[in-house]
Chain A
Amino acid sequence: MASSPIADLTYRNYDGPLDPPVNRWWAIAKMSMRLSTKKKGFWVWASLSTFWYLILLAVFYFAETTATATTALGQGNPFFKNIVWKDQFLNAFSVSQLFMLILALLLGAGTIANDNRANALLVYLSKPCSKLDYVIGKWLGIFVPLTLVAAVPTLLFYVYCLLSYRSYGFLTQDPWLILRLLGMVMLPGFFHASATLGVSSLFQQGRLAGATYSALYFFGLFFTKAMQTVIFVNGPMGGESTAPPIVKSLYYCSIDGIQIGLAKIFLHTDGSQLFPGSMPVGVRFAIEAPSAVVFVPAFFGICGVFMLLAWSRIRAVEVVG
């Protein structure tokens, strides 16, 4: 179009290398991650999601320094003697759920909805890129950043505890904790990536998809809180609740509940109160871990249904009946 006395600006066809027309999911995942990490909000909320670990660090630091001054020589710090280390990770995981939801909305709500609005599927599917490539690429584009957000502070805190609290049984309490943690940190990414992809595929606007997913989250959360109330009303403080077992399972029937339940299964713990030592012996605020036989298949089943929903909604042309 432009004319220049020097350059030859007429069209020349590309005759350079082309990769075989398979596995385009990686290009899609890379671009999704690139776009995600360009958002300022991603970094803000990712930083905020670490706040519980920062609080733990502060509490541990002060508990150690104050106890050193007051505890007699040769006696262990009572704060750390009673601590269940893996429960600290579980608590941090539970507290970060809201931040993970916000990040999931930021990265995932518009991922297919915005493509639907902009007819981007015509671009994707007119290239050597299958529906499966598209779904896997988009899924990885949400899963990888969310998993990193969950994993980085968890692993840093693990290393800190390993270096500082080995004498308080950090390593001996559960030598396989690191592997359990690696499994746990993948849960939010896995669930949110699948669910937001499914919900997003139903809409043409990211905001609507985000609002719908938030509604699902909060309705589930209210339900969970109702079940929690039923459990505690039926159990005297410190004793076993007389609420029927189904109520204890229903407690985990929400977006964050299923993740926390599965985290308990992975960590082999029922959880405990946020900070040990301040409660009377035998008092129990934690609700026991759900059945792995039911919850592991349920978790992957729900994720699979959302993925299938996304896969079925992806098409380059509107088909009339």
Chain B
Amino acid sequence: MTIASVHNLVVKYGNFTALNGLSCEIPEGCTGLLGPNGAGKTTLLKTILGFVKPTSGSASILGMDIIQAGNAIRQKVGLMPEQDCHIPGMTAVQFVAYAGELAGMPASQALRRSHEVLDYCGLGEARYRNVETYSTGMKQRIKLAQALVHGPKLLLLDEPTNGLDPAGREDMLELVRSVSHGKGLNVLVSSHLLPDIERVCDRVIVVMKGELRAQGTIKDLKKIAGQPIDIELRDVCPPFVAAMQAQGASVMPPKRTTYRIQMAGLPEETAKIAMQVARDSGAQIRGFILAERSLEDAFLDAITSTSPPVSTQTSDGGNA
């Protein structure tokens, strides 16, 4: 099921075009919104929430149009903004409960739920402290808590690990991963940090200069065209390479003792041939894996490519 769909969305700030005909579909689960700084990620989030009016195009979130149903959308969406934000003069528990009341929760429910969410976000001990006295890591957590308090169906996280130390970053990613898997909560994480996205997301949308560059599952995006395989041998073995080349395979120079081999046909067939050749040439195979590129390579490829956006098949068969 699609959580959000965006069609030819154009957003301009004066003469500057922040989103230039962006179209994408955000499926259920945890999706990463990738792009370099200034790509339009935050603008997309703010347009979804109705902070910015699109010049043209349309978008719907949870089946509701962003122009027509701004308030209804914001009641079902939680935003954790990139910047520090809090309401001055409040303790954490007051702040989160107030955020719940603003979202429409009855006051008593909001207070009960704020305790629950603060506990969950690891701020249980600091709940009666004024938010202004919080450290950067705690401020990140309180932003997550206020976004979660009303039980949103879609959580928008804008650079959730900004300004966090390694341990804080680990904790935050673990939190995001846990809420986005098996809890009925869909998450859109905007970041330019690829390891963060790879850690918590199943799918990504790559945006560059306000345009879609690629979208799909991380697994599919990391696939290399032609589906080569990486074969790790015990030692470097020129007879094996020569024999594979004789079979019509292209063999890339080895990294240590690992050769990347590509042949026409399915990877399974290539593997079968490689096993046979290894037996014949006396090479000892230690490892065998379908070659894939890093997410960083896939990302760089997507943002530098001039070809139309890549849209890969999702594992459930739908076009993501």
Contact = CB atoms under 8 A, between A and B. Distances in A.
B183 A126 contact: no
Contacts, number: 143
Contacts of B86: 118-120, 123
B136 interface: no
A297 interface: no
28 contacts: A1-B120, A1-B175, A10-B183, A11-B148, A13-B184, A14-B151, A16-B106, A18-B103, A18-B150, A19-B105, A21-B71, A22-B71, A24-B102, A27-B102, A35-B89, A114-B89, A115-B88, A118-B88, A119-B85, A126-B51, A126-B81, A127-B75, A127-B99, A127-B103, A129-B74, A316-B51, A320-B14, A321-B13
Interface in A161-217: none
Given A19-B106, A128-B103, A1 B13 contact: no
Given A13-B151, A14-B150, A17-B109, A120 B74 contact: no
Given A119-B83, A127-B99, A2 B119 contact: yes
Given A1-B122, A13-B184, A128-B71, A120 B85 contact: yes
A319 B12 CA distance: 10
B33 to A, nearest CB: 17
A125 B51 contact: yes
Given A19-B106, A122-B79, A316-B46, A14 B113 contact: yes
Interface in A94-124: 110, 114-115, 117-120, 122-124
B105 A118 contact: no
B104 A18 contact: yes
B182 to A, nearest CB: 9
B146 interface: yes
Contacts of A13: 151, 183-185
A115 B89 CA distance: 10
Contacts of A110: 88
B223 to A, nearest CB: 32
Given A17-B109, A122-B83, A128-B103, A12 B183 contact: yes
Contact of A122 (B85, B106, B119, B178): B85
Contacts of B116: 12
B119 A9 contact: yes
Given A35-B89, A118-B85, A130-B70, 4 more contacts: A11-B185, A12-B183, A15-B151, A119-B85
B84 interface: yes
Contacts of A12: 116, 183
A9 B88 contact: no
A320 B132 CA distance: 28
Nearest to B97: A31
